[in-house]
Amino acid sequence: QALDLITSVPELKPVTVITPDDYQLHQNYPNPFNPTTTISFVLPINKTVSLKIYNSLGQEVRTLIDNRAYPEGSHTVQWDATNNHGNRVSSGVYIYKLIFGNFAKSKTMTLV
């Protein structure tokens, strides 16, 4: 009795794995700044993100992006050193955080 051998292997398609390291949050510029600064970030894929500003006590000061869908690529946002109520914030160190899914990246900036 003869055996039929399978000699073909299905073609495997490459899988791209996106990790948190593939998301880039750049240092704001200028830094230190007064009265405005620019924050830029790069997304490796289309993603819903948030970008928030916190004071040195960890209290949220301003939401620049609130769960908004952004396409893959480079993006910039300006902050005018005001809080969520439109009031000017005091000089000091602030943390800006890019939130994407269950992950986040943050950096510090100084308002003079």
* pLDDT score of 44: 96
Is 49 within 8 Å of 65 (Cβ atoms)? yes
State the pTM of this model: 0.86
User: pLDDT tens-digit profile of 4-43?
Assistant: 666 666 788 888 888 889 999 999 999 999 999 999 999 9
* pLDDT score of 19: 87
Given a cut of 90, whether residue 96 has pLDDT beyond it is yes
Given a cut of 80, whether residue 82 has pLDDT beyond it is yes
Average pLDDT on 79-102 reads 97
Average pLDDT on 69-95 reads 98
Which CATH architecture does the domain made up of 20-111 adopt? Sandwich (2.60)
If you write DSSP's letter for every residue of the chain in order, what string do you get?
A: -PPPPP---PPPPP-PPP-GGGSEEPPPBSSSBSS-EEEEEEESS-EEEEEEEE-TTS-EEEEEEEEEEE-SEEEEEEE-SB-TTSPBPPSEEEEEEEEETTEEEEEEEEE-
Given a cut of 90, whether residue 47 has pLDDT beyond it is yes
